[in-house]
Chain A
């Protein structure tokens, strides 16, 4: 199993830099949860499925914790581990939900809501 995950790494670097800048708006733009997902996210899904399949969440959490010192150390002696746990869950969502079919789901549901 390859642990080479360049897209995930650069994604985490981006998140880390946004935390440092305290840029909440751009953080929202990066943490996409509904389609359309750009090819970059498809790549993240591929890497997640390959390097961090179900059951490997602990390893994924360690990776995130290392890559996001802003959250790990927090502020005023108060670490922000909840953010790391959230990022892990976000990755798990991308990995487990069938992203290809998600668009159809959304189109259907959004039509209903209109």
Chain B
């Protein structure tokens, strides 16, 4: 099969879809071509993703056509941009809207086209370009709930992955949770994919999967990967945690493939520190005295000692494993391992206090962390070490940008009350009915 065939096919499909998009713009007749636009877009997305996975097929042509500015759009990006035009036409259509709780006219195509653009962008690792789709949908789309289930699930999966990639883990969890609950059990592969990101988001939020979740058909094998990580986080075992998420770890390539290794490592470590401090408090903390009003405290020094002991174990392990060829035989004058000092410890404590994961204050003079509110809250552990998920979720609201809940209001994209605003009173009760 010749390379030219593939490229001429891709080019031809680009031009056909462009013309098709122009035909879609007609205010009344354009809608007749909508199903064709979607099927052409589907074909183009397959072609673009296929070529992206097999770049050698068109390497010679790409080399020949590259310009000096270096900012040329790639073939998948070009395909995504063409499909995006169809998406924008559907979104901007003024002739159609929502009828009997269902989208009509070109509005039917919004999420079909959006999902195809997102598919290309995610498969070809151009996720940044996805933002515009979510912004457009947030501004102009009818509510997601009125669209078919498959479109909703796919869209929320991509939205969740995008939010995960920009470190909005709580919002990502919201979108992925909805996608997972609505995904049919028969779509096992898709459901598993959603679950991987849902689990990763939740772990970062401090919520670990239950045994029953691991037993679901779409979760086969996931316990082997995630359970040891969660266990090390809960017990404050920094060594095991770092080992499990190192590049040499048995599941490192699997985690990297899903692009969740680094987020888990960097975000998860915060929670490991919380557990480590909690453990130190349990072992050697002063539990306070309610009569003399002495607050429960833990010495920063104790945490530092524990951390050093753990870190030395990591250093020794990695040192025995690997010596770079350039350094083989070189004697190290400064052989003492890097030691974390008290300043770093104070910094970690204050960061956790700032994030709300520790409740109390640090005495810089005594170098102790004191827990506040132990008496009122029923014990130093509950008061000093609030549940991470509760802390994080209390700082987030349930609004997920890009997930359209209510109908777009004409003119303003703002949700403030004001003149001309339609207030939905369907859930209102008569005055005095209580509740």
* Interface residues in chain A, defined as those with a beta carbon under 8 Å from any beta carbon in chain B: 19, 22, 24-25, 27-28, 31, 33-34, 71, 74-76, 78, 80, 82-83, 85-86, 89-90, 92-93, 96-98, 101-102, 104-106, 108-110, 112-113
> Roughly how many angstroms separate A82 CA and B33 CA in the complex, as a whole number?
11
> Roughly how many angstroms separate A86 CA and B40 CA in the complex, as a whole number?
12
Asked if A24 and B12 make an inter-chain contact with CB atoms under 8 angstroms apart, the answer reads no
A-side contacts of B46, CB under 8 Å: 106, 109-110, 113
Asked if B50 and A86 make an inter-chain contact with CB atoms under 8 angstroms apart, the answer reads no
A-side contacts of B12, CB under 8 Å: 92-93, 96-97
B-side contacts of A71, CB under 8 Å: 29
> Roughly how many angstroms separate A28 CA and B39 CA in the complex, as a whole number?
8
Contact bitstring B154-187, A, C-beta under 8 A = 1, else 0: 0000000000000000000000000000000000
Between A and B, 19 residue pairs with Cβ closer than 8 Å are A22-B32, A24-B33, A34-B43, A76-B27, A76-B28, A78-B28, A83-B26, A86-B23, A93-B12, A96-B8, A96-B12, A101-B2, A102-B9, A105-B1, A109-B51, A109-B54, A112-B54, A113-B49, A113-B53
B32 partner, pick from A24, A78, A90, A104, beta carbons under 8 A:
A24
> Roughly how many angstroms separate A63 CA and B82 CA in the complex, as a whole number?
28
Measured CB to CB, the closest approach of chain B to A45, in angstroms, equals 13
> Roughly how many angstroms separate A75 CA and B13 CA in the complex, as a whole number?
28
Tell me the dominant secondary structure on chain B's binding face.
helix
Closest 4 CB pairs of A and B: A109-B50, A28-B35, A86-B19, A82-B23
* Interface residues in chain B, defined as those with a beta carbon under 8 Å from any beta carbon in chain A: 1-2, 5-6, 8-9, 12-13, 15-16, 19-20, 22-23, 25-36, 38-40, 43, 46-47, 49-51, 53-54, 123
Asked if B36 and A82 make an inter-chain contact with CB atoms under 8 angstroms apart, the answer reads no
A109 partner, pick from B35, B38, B47, beta carbons under 8 A:
B47
Count of CB-CB pairs between chains A and B under 8 Å: 109
Asked if B31 and A24 make an inter-chain contact with CB atoms under 8 angstroms apart, the answer reads yes
Asked if B50 and A33 make an inter-chain contact with CB atoms under 8 angstroms apart, the answer reads no
Measured CB to CB, the closest approach of chain B to A112, in angstroms, equals 4
Asked if B50 and A104 make an inter-chain contact with CB atoms under 8 angstroms apart, the answer reads no
Asked if B19 and A89 make an inter-chain contact with CB atoms under 8 angstroms apart, the answer reads yes
Asked if A90 and B16 make an inter-chain contact with CB atoms under 8 angstroms apart, the answer reads yes
B-side contacts of A109, CB under 8 Å: 6, 46-47, 49-51, 54
Asked if A83 and B23 make an inter-chain contact with CB atoms under 8 angstroms apart, the answer reads yes
A112 partner, pick from B5, B15, B34, B53, beta carbons under 8 A:
B53
Asked if A80 and B51 make an inter-chain contact with CB atoms under 8 angstroms apart, the answer reads no
Asked if A80 and B1 make an inter-chain contact with CB atoms under 8 angstroms apart, the answer reads no
Measured CB to CB, the closest approach of chain A to B273, in angstroms, equals 42
Q: Which of A19, A89, A102 has the most CB of B within 10 A?
A: A89
